[in-house]
Chains A and B, each alone.
Chain A
Amino acid sequence: MLRAGLSVKTLWQLMEMKTKTCLKVHGRMADLQHAMGAFRWMSSVRPAPVLTAAPVRALIDEQISIKGRFLPPNSPITLCSRMHSEDGDLWEAFAHYNTDASGSFSLTSDRSVGGSYTGCEPMGLFWGLHPPPGSREGLRLRKRNVETPYTVHVSLLEGHISPSGGPITELAAVTTERSYMAPGVRRIDIRQNGIVGTLFLPPGPGPFPAMLDMWGMGGGLNEYRSALCASRGYASLSLAYFEHKDLPGPLRELNVGNEYFKSAFRLLQDHPQIVAERVGIVGLSFGVYLTLNLATQPGINPSCLICINGPMGRSHFLPGDKGEVKYWNYDERGYIAFRQISLPSNMAPEYKVKMEKINCPLMYIIGEDDLSSASTENADQIEEELRAAGKSHLFTRLSYPGAGHLIEPPYAPNARVTMWRIKPEKMVALFGGYDAPHAAAQEDAWRKILCFLESNLRG
């Protein structure tokens, strides 16, 4: 059977090859007949290529196994993934593979020989997604609406080609859906006691352990990590604290203090479906400072803390504030690395968290190529202070070479560079990290985070 992708020329070439081989080896008419007959049979029984993905509807942190069958043996193929973000931007990735002797391939065992990634990377078509050349700069892929999945279209193409945003001729395709919310997870808007956040509850009667979830000075309300925690059985509250329209005071300022964060923690503890003694806190970037600060407040006893790439103190200014300009480093493109400001030596002493007051296990996760936060130095400082207090057994460090600032749930593309602000003027921030090591870091860190949560919140 001839499929659209397989040219008649290719078939004739294959036929000639078989003929030549047979003539050389046997040199007899009967054998030639047999060879021709066999070839004709093969070409007419071979079905169209089939591309499969399993599971085709997956959670964000689940590996999807992509396989192809019924292709010509030992032949070049390209896999191309494409999706549109919520803002309408195209993101795509592609990889070059060769089918094996049976005309099959499997991304869980085969190696990419070119494209957005190389080597054996089962999820490379997802973490390797990038806007094609010519797109707006500094784009970052983040899901705002966690109640709908990411729809990623994966195509199988003939040969080793580079799609680059243009039209492609598919041999086969499969559509995958990747969700942050498992079926039955409940999303609840929280606007009470002055708290602005979103609570995610796992399905079932509970009661559940819980996590308070905080992000950095990008502001707003990022729900996706909380949603995924709930999908893994932990109730989670993503908390807004900066640049959210429902928070009091001017948008560009931090208008909430210790009482705000304590209320949020207590909201979780008081929830009828949450076990009050099993509430932890996770923070990324400036969220680390908030996590550590909250954990040392009187009356607040979290079960565990997760700190990702952030400071254990702060300056008098807020990160990103013009007052900090002297600490910023610019690269040749005018992109800003915020890193310096978060060095412990640049922190105001009254704003450094007293680590000796920490009483629960603390996991600190470092991206060694983090250009936005002095993560290693902060981890060192935290570890030193805990050791001095006789609490080094509480500390776990995960350190990932080549990973950047945004260590997020697995298979999310890394944003080495991101549009930080458009108004009053355009600022592009450097977050660091290189695709492959950053992806490996996210996958490994998430697995370890889930184990850490399991031992501390469910043990």
Chain B
Amino acid sequence: MSSQAAVFLGCSRSGVGCLVPSTWMDRRKCCVQLSVHPSRGLIDEKFNVQVQKFLPGCQLTVHALHRCEDRNSWEAFGHYMTDASGTVNVSQDTSVGGTYSGVEAMGLLWSLRPVPGSKPGLRLRKKNVQTPMEVTISVYQGHQTEGFVDQVPLASVLVERWYMAPGVRRIPVTEDGLTATLFLPAGPGPFPGVLDLWGAGGQLVEYRAALLASHGFASLALDYLTCKITMETGKMVDNQYFETAYRVLQQHPQVLSSRMAMLGFSFGTSFTFKMAVYSQVIKLRCAVCIGGSHVQPIDASVKEMFTYFNNNASKIRVNEKNEVIWRDVFQPTADPSIKVDMGRLQCPLLLVVGEDDQNWPASEAAKDMKEMMERAGNSHLLTILSYPKTGHLIEPPYTPHVRASIFRIFDTHQKLMLLWGGQTVEHSRAQEDAWKKILVFLRENLYGAANPSATLSSHL
């Protein structure tokens, strides 16, 4: 070895690494190329991460860092070996360690987790959808597992992930007492409309509606718990509030009034089931319900739903880690008076179920709904997507999975650690698969035939 100082790269327990002079290393650094394509993509788009022009047969770590709106840092990383041409292609090569392993094109996003030293119970959610999520992708020598912030990477690029496609318009809606945001797709329209409901956390959560608009659906994100009316009067909204939201969306000049859907998540599914079946005003082409249950006192208002919840508080469990499990509260029983009569449903319904959902009994509810609909003869309307080892928070693709997180009760502001469930790998696959199928389902029902499942009749 020459008298020049040498740098031992990629020292690992297995002893695999490359020995190079450090001056050569400096020159080499300006040759290493890291690219991510597309560098500006939608949140549900895949990207391709490539490292080129490094040494062959060397260990590298590809790292992702995201600083979210509440200033917490999230990171993910994969351990790779460069090939004979000094290249790593994340979409094709195998990660042998890190926060994800195997061939995972998008592992750098879905395996993001709070950096060591972070507060427990964090969850990654974008509030401002008009700016992109920025992720710094870097490559480090060797197989690193910690201390990334203290090291200088070989190369680094910035990637933008957008909820809103160019041309999508964001319009706050306050008419008729609503607290909502409308997202209109780019283009002339008119577009089918989707009413988008989140769960018991409240707030006006916009990102899924923004993403739906990026896919051609006029979408209205609706706050029904912490809305202006409730904050000012202390009274929760009645069921007419949802019908008002539907009507305002439907009557928008760029919305096709006969092509409307509802997409509900968690507590939002309660209102979706209810409206789809009972409302005289809301006439849906189709409905999507993620992680929810049809169990509720018949025609319950928001307030009555919470009363029901409180009356069943004894069913709430806490595990050994002090994580709160709510799944038993809305369990279906044989009692028909506390269930939406799914036999009366007249539109296609897509249920998305995480089999490890610890917050809502989505599996049991789906099974019960299927039985109700089979008895009533309308089960041809039902499609169930059921994912093993998948938890409650089935979000748009590549959203980092959290098994439990801090949840703030919307009115008392009390904080709990809620157990959502799910195992990261399976949960992430479920998010990707479910979203794809949700989009197909919405397109088929909202852009397609009037009644695709109706039998064709003779026209002559």
Residue numbers of A with Cβ under 8 A of B are 1, 4, 29, 32-33, 36-37, 40-41, 44-48, 50-51, 55-59, 70, 151, 153, 155, 169-177, 179, 182-184, 203-209, 233, 275, 278, 458-459
Contact = CB atoms under 8 A, between A and B. Distances in A.
Interface stretch (B26-34, B226-234, B406-414): B26-34
Contacts of B188: 4, 155, 169-173
B216 A50 contact: yes
A126 B429 CA distance: 38
B53 A174 contact: no
Contact of B443 (A44, A47, A51, A175): A47
Nearest to B158: A184
Contacts of B187: 51, 170, 172-174
Contact of A40 (B136, B452, B459): B459
Contacts of B152: 205
A179 B33 CA distance: 20
A58 B34 CA distance: 17
B191 to A, nearest CB: 9
Contacts of A33: 458-460
A59 B153 CA distance: 24
B160 interface: yes
B134 interface: yes
B54 to A, nearest CB: 12
Contact of B156 (A47, A179, A203): A203
A278 B30 contact: yes
Interface in B294-317: none
Nearest to A231: B39
A106 B8 CA distance: 50
A335 to B, nearest CB: 37
10 contacts: A57-B162, A169-B188, A172-B187, A173-B187, A175-B166, A183-B157, A184-B156, A205-B156, A207-B29, A458-B53
B139 to A, nearest CB: 9
A41 B456 contact: yes
B30 A207 contact: yes
B158 A44 contact: no
Given A41-B456, A204-B157, A1 B447 contact: yes
Nearest to B187: A173
Given A32-B460, A57-B41, A204-B155, A45 B165 contact: no
B167 interface: yes
A180 to B, nearest CB: 13
Given A45-B452, A174-B186, A206-B29, 14 more contacts: A4-B190, A33-B459, A36-B459, A55-B40, A56-B42, A153-B167, A173-B188, A179-B40, A184-B157, A184-B158, A204-B138, A204-B156, A204-B157, A207-B30
A203 B157 contact: yes
B447 A175 contact: no
A179 B42 CA distance: 16
Interface string B13-30: 000000000000011011
A423 B29 CA distance: 50
Most chain B CB neighbours (cut-off 10 Å) among A47, A183, A204? A204
A17 B166 CA distance: 41
Most chain B CB neighbours (cut-off 10 Å) among A36, A203, A459? A203
B159 interface: yes
Chain A binding site: helix, strand, loop or mixed by DSSP? mixed
Contacts of A47: 443, 447-448
B41 A55 contact: yes
A52 to B, nearest CB: 10
B171 interface: no
Given A51-B187, A55-B41, A233-B33, A175 B458 contact: no
Interface string B157-194: 11110100111000000000000000000111010000
Contacts of B450: 1, 44
A183 B158 contact: yes
Contacts of A209: 30
A37 B455 CA distance: 12
Contact of A175 (B30, B158, B167): B167
Nearest to A277: B27
A32 B459 CA distance: 10
A37 B458 contact: yes
B38 interface: yes
Nearest to A47: B447
A58 B38 contact: yes
B449 interface: yes
A51 to B, nearest CB: 7
A48 B191 CA distance: 10
Shortest Cβ-Cβ A-B pairs, 10 listed: A184-B158, A175-B167, A204-B156, A47-B447, A57-B40, A173-B187, A183-B158, A175-B166, A45-B449, A170-B188
Contacts of B166: 56-57, 151, 175-177
Contacts of A205: 152-153, 155-156
A125 B289 CA distance: 41
Contacts of B42: 56
Given A57-B162, A153-B167, A175 B186 contact: yes
Contacts of B190: 4
B437 to A, nearest CB: 17
A177 to B, nearest CB: 5
A169 B458 CA distance: 36
Contacts of A174: 167, 186-187
A216 to B, nearest CB: 30
A207 B155 CA distance: 9
A173 B186 contact: yes
Nearest to B27: A275
Nearest to A204: B156
B444 to A, nearest CB: 8
